[in-house]
Structures are given as C-alpha cells and as structure tokens.
Amino acid sequence: MEQDKQVTRFEVILGALVIGVIGLVVVPMLRGSNIDGGARKAVVSAEIIARAALDYRLETGDWPPRDAGGGLDPTCLTGPGVAVAGQANMVGAMGSVESAPPWLNEIPLDPWYRPYRIHLVDDAGQPRLVVISSGPDGLYQTSSARLLTVVAAPEPVFGGDDQGFVLDMGEAR
C-alpha cells in the first residue's frame, strides 16, 4: 500500500501552531529593540539641538529667546538670527551680531513626531542645557522642579519614559 503524498489537516494545523508560537516569541523582541532605537535616536537629536543652541549663544552672545512655557524657543536656530537681550537669561548678554547663519537646517522632532523642550537650568552658577523628549507616551513626566536633580546626577535620569540630553557648559568647550 502506497503512502499518500498529500498534506493532512493535522499537519497544516501543526505548522500554523508552530508559526504562531515563533511569532509570539519574536515579535515582542523586535518591538523592544524598536523602542530602544527610538530612545537612542531621541538622545542623539536632543544633543544636536543642545549643541546648536550653544553655538547660537557663542555666536550671538545670548541664548535663544524664551517661549511661553519658560523654555528656550528653538525656532531661531533654523534661520538668520538676531540676538535679543533678554532679562530672563541666566547668563548675561555678551554682545550681539546683526544676523548669523542657521544653526540647524530644521528643528528635528523626536522619534514619536513630537517637539523637544529646551530648558536652561542654573545649577549653582553653572548653566546647563537640558533638551527633553516626552518619549513614546507623549507625556512630559520630568517636571521643571526635577530638572535640578536631573542635571546634578552623573547620569541624567528623566521621569517616566522621557528621553533627553544634558549639555554641561564646562564640558562643551
């Protein structure tokens, strides 16, 4: 008696079950690496923004103007800038230039397509730039009050799933 060369229903079901189990194991690992990749990209973009803001400061003698929320407004980093003497700046104005080249071609959004927040934090007379992404959930969980704790730590730890970069002016030079 010859064996049938056809695939039985049992074999099809068994194959689908094996593929499903493999999918349950592999897909979460791939998603986890994507989140880690997004976090790394957020930190790199935050560093680029921080260094552009520092370049703006060095070329114009002043920090970018403040936005309505008290943070630095990054829009001046993309086009010719004019230094604005602001009383809110923690480091006094050093001079100004009429215009300067753009420091960024465009202001990057975080990997989750949301804007970064830029803060100038005075840590015992040492100004530091803090650029924060709200992370995958879109909620800023690093409060303004916590920023001093973030900049004082050897490794910055942001609240929740926030990602960011701290630029110490002493290290930037």
- The fold adopted by the segment(s) 36-172 is Glycoprotein, Type 4 Pilin (3.30.700)
More confident residue, 15 or 5: 15
Q: What is the pLDDT of residues 52-68, one digit of tens each?
A: 999 988 888 888 898 88
pLDDT of the residue at 134: 92
pTM of the model: 0.67
> Is residue 1 over pLDDT 80?
no
Q: Is the pLDDT of residue 3 over 70?
A: no
Tell me the C-alpha distance between 45 and 133, whole Å. Answer: 9
- Whether the pLDDT of residue 27 is over 80: the answer is no
pLDDT at 125: 74
Dihedral sign from CA coordinates of 47, 136, 41, 116: negative
Q: Residue 34 — very low, low, confident or very high, per pLDDT cuts 50/70/90?
A: low
Rounded Cα gap, residues 35 and 133, in angstroms:
13
Q: What residues does each domain of the chain span? A: 36-172
Ranges 49-53, 68-72, 148-152, 154-158: which has the least confidence: 148-152
DSSP one-letter string for 69-90: TSSB-GGGGGS-------TT-S
Confidence of residue 153 (pLDDT cuts 50, 70, 90): confident
